[in-house]
Amino acid sequence: MTGHAPVERDPRADLPGLTALLQRPEVADAVASVGHDRVVGALREALAGARDAVIGGTAVPGPDRIAAEVLAMLRARSHRGLRPVLNATGVLLHTNLGRAPLSADAVAAIKAAAGPTNLEVDLADGDRGGRGSVAHEALARLTGAEAGLAVNNGAAALVLALHVLGRDREVVISRGELVEIGGSFRLPDIMEAAGCRLREVGTTNRTHLDDYRRAVTVDTGAILRVHPSNFRQDGFVHRPSTEEIAEVARAADVPFIDDIGSGLLRPHPAARDEPVAAEAVDQGADLVLFSGDKLLGGPQAGIVVGRGDLVERCRRAPLARALRLDKLRLAALEASLAAHERDAREELPVWAMAAADLDDLRERAERIAAGCRGTPVETEAVLGGGSTPGARLPSWGVALTGPADDLATRLRTGDPAVVPRIIDDRVVTDLRSVPAEQDDALLSALRAATGTG
C-alpha cells in the first residue's frame, strides 16, 4: 500500500472574510461615516497586504488587527482633503496654504450667499441684473478706473486681456519680464494659449523706450508690462516707467496692459516697492491687472480695471464666461472691497498681521513658550504671495527643542494641523502669521507635539 504525504494547508484560508469584517460594529460605523465603497476598498487593500505577508511567513492577522488597520487607513486618508491649518511659517500670504485668509465679513458673506441669492436678478424690478456689478463698481471707484471686472484668478485676467486685445497679433514685452509664475506656468506659454505672438524687446536686465518704439508695428495688438513679483533685479538695470510706456502706446494707438501682480490698492509701509493699482491707472495704463487673494486681502480672483471700452470688450468676450467668478467668491470679494472703501483695511487678516505690534508678538511668544517649554525667539516674516521680494517684517516666534523634522511632521499631522518653519535645525512657529485668537489652539498643538501637555 502506497502512502501519501499530507497536503499542507494554505494559511491564507484563515484570513477573515470581507463579509465578516463588514459586520463588525466599528467597520459598520465607518461605512455610515465615509461610505460603503470606500470602506470595502480599504478592506480589500488590507486583505491583499495580509495575504502577501502571510505568504512571506508572517502570522495570520486576526479580524481585530485588520479592522484596526483599515480604520487607521481611513483616518489617514480623511486628512488628505482640505482642512484648516495654523499658518506658523511667517509667510503671511502663503501660496500653498491658500494665500490671503478671509475677513470675518467675507466669511459671513459666503455663508449668506450659500443659498439662493440675487446673483443675476435685479430685486427692484425683477429683471435680469448684472453679475458681479457691485464688485465691479467698487473696483472702479477704488482704483479711479472707468470700469472693473473680476474673473477666476490673476492668470485668467491676463489670458482674457491678451485674448481680447492681442489674439492673432503681436504683443510687445520686455525680455526681463518673461517670468514663470509658479507651478511651471511661464508667461510665453500663457501668451501662446491666449492666441498671441510674443514680440520680445530689450535684454534681461535693460530695456529702453526706443526698444518699445521700434517694436510697435501695424501688427501690434498691445504692449504688455509685467511686474516681476517674486524676484528682484539690482545693479546694472533699467526699466522704463509706467508713464513712459503709456506715452509710447498712446502715440502708436496701441493698448497698454500693466499686470501689477499683487493688487496693492493704496500704499502701505510694509509694501513700499509694490506698484499701486490706482497709480498705474493714473499713470496711463489702459488695462491694469492684479490678483484678489494677495495684497487686496480677498478671495482668489483676477482683477481687470481701466478704460471702459476695453473692460467692456473683455466682459463681452465668450472666454469671459468660462473664467467668471462663482457667487461665493463674488460675495467674499464684495465684502473685502467694502473694507477698503470704508478705510478699514486692517479688518482684512493679511493687513492686521502685517500691522501687528512687535511688543505684542513678543509677549505672545513668551506666553506660549512658557506653556510648552519652548523658547521665545526673534524672527523675520514676509508678506509672501510673490510681493515685496527681499523685504522682511520683524517678528517673534516660539522655538522647540527636539528633532526638527520629527517635530514638524507631528505638528503638520496633528489636530489642529500646524505648519511651522525650520530655522537652524529648530522648529519655529512664527506668530506674525498666526492671529492672536488662535494662540490657545497653537499652544495645544505644541504641547501635543512636544509631549508637554
Cα dihedral 412, 415, 417, 421 sign:
negative
Task: Look at residue 356 and tell me whether its pLDDT is greater than 70.
Answer: yes
Q: Out of 90-94, 207-211, 231-235, which region has the weakest mean confidence (pLDDT)? A: 231-235
Tell me what the mean pLDDT of segment 337-341 comes to: 98
Contact 246, 212 (CB under 8 A): no
The grid cell for 151 is 474673473
Hey, which residues does 199 pair with through a beta bridge?
172
Whether the link from the prior residue into 63 is cis, omega within 30° of 0, is no
What pLDDT, on a 0 to 100 scale, did the predictor assign at position 368?
98
Say how many Å lie between the first and final Cα of the chain, rounded: 74
Answer whether 212's CB lies under 8 Å from 240's CB: yes
Cβ contacts of residue 354 below 8 Å, gap of 6+? 92, 268, 270, 383, 393, 432
**Sheet of 256-261, strands arranged across:** 147-151, 302-306, 287-291, 256-261, 220-226, 170-174, 197-201
- The secondary structure element, H or E, covering residue 293 is none
CA–CA distances in Å: residue 338 to residues 53, 130, 304, 344, 442: 61, 18, 18, 8, 31
Whether residue 127 has pLDDT greater than 70 = yes
Question: Predicted confidence band at 183 (pLDDT cuts at 50, 70, 90)?
Answer: low
The average confidence (pLDDT) of the chain is 92
With 0-12 / 13-18 / 19 or more C-beta atoms within 10 angstroms meaning exposed / middle / buried, residue 40 is middle
- pLDDT bucket at 178, cuts 50 / 70 / 90: confident
d(CA 177, CA 58): 60
Q: How confident is the model at residue 390 (pLDDT cuts 50, 70, 90)?
A: low
The CATH number of 149-327 is 3.40.640.10
Using a 10 angstrom Cβ sphere, with 0-12 exposed, 13-18 middle and 19 or more buried, the burial of residue 430 is: buried
Confidence band of 200 (pLDDT split at 50, 70, 90): very high
Output the pLDDT for position 185. Answer: 76
Q: What would the mean pLDDT of 373-382 be, rounded to a whole number?
A: 96
Which DSSP letter does residue 451 get?
T
**Mean pLDDT, residues 226-246 taken together:** 82
Of 285 and 128, the one with more pLDDT: 285
* C-alpha of 432 from chain center: 18
Rg (CA), the chain: 28
Q: Is 209 exposed, middle or buried (0-12, 13-18, 19+ CB in 10 A)?
A: middle
Which is nearest to 230 in space by CA: 189, 268, 261?
A: 261
> What mean pLDDT comes out for the span 5-28?
82
pLDDT value of position 57: 80
Supply the pTM of this predicted model. Answer: 0.88
Question: What is the C-alpha to C-alpha distance for residues 301 and 388, in angstroms, rounded to an integer?
Answer: 20
pLDDT at 3: 56
114 pLDDT exceeds 70?
yes
Within 8 A by CB and 6+ apart from 380, the residues are 90, 392, 393, 394, 395
Q: Cα(445)–Cα(420) distance, rounded to whole angstroms?
A: 11
Q: Which of these ranges, 216-225, 228-237, 333-342, has the smallest mean pLDDT? A: 228-237
Q: Each residue of 262-272: pLDDT tens digit?
A: 899 988 888 88
Q: How far is CA 20 from CA 16, 17, 66, in A?
A: 7, 5, 11
When pLDDT is cut at 50, 70 and 90, the band that residue 230 belongs to is: low
Q: What is the pLDDT of residue 290?
A: 96
Q: Is the pLDDT of residue 284 over 60?
A: yes
pLDDT for 338 equals 98
Give how far the C-alpha of residue 2 lies from the chain's centroid of Cα atoms, to the nearest Å: 77
pLDDT over 90 at 176, yes or no? no
The ranges assigned to domains in the chain are 11-78, 85-96+351-450, 149-327
What is the side-by-side strand order in the sheet with 91-93? Answer: 91-93, 375-384, 393-399, 426-430, 421-423
Same fold, 85-96+351-450 and 149-327: no
What's the pLDDT band for 258 if we cut at 50, 70, 90? Answer: very high
pLDDT score for 116? 94
Q: What is the largest CA-CA distance in the chain?
A: 112
pLDDT of residue 7: 59
User: What is the model's pLDDT at position 214?
Assistant: 93
What's the pLDDT at 195?
93
Residue with cell 461605512: 31
- For 286-311, the pLDDT digits (tens) are 999 999 999 999 999 999 999 999 99
3-state SS track over 96-164: HHCCCCCCHHHHHHHHHHCCCCCCCECCCCCCECCCCHHHHHHHHHHHCCCEEEEECCHHHHHHHHHHH
Instruction: Give residue 453's pLDDT band: very low, low, confident or very high (50, 70, 90).
Output: low
Amino acid 387: pLDDT: 74
Assess whether pLDDT exceeds 70 at residue 147: yes
Q: Provide mean pLDDT across the span 233-254.
A: 89
pLDDT at 314: 98
Position with higher pLDDT, 293 vs 58: 293
User: What CATH class has 85-96+351-450?
Assistant: alpha beta
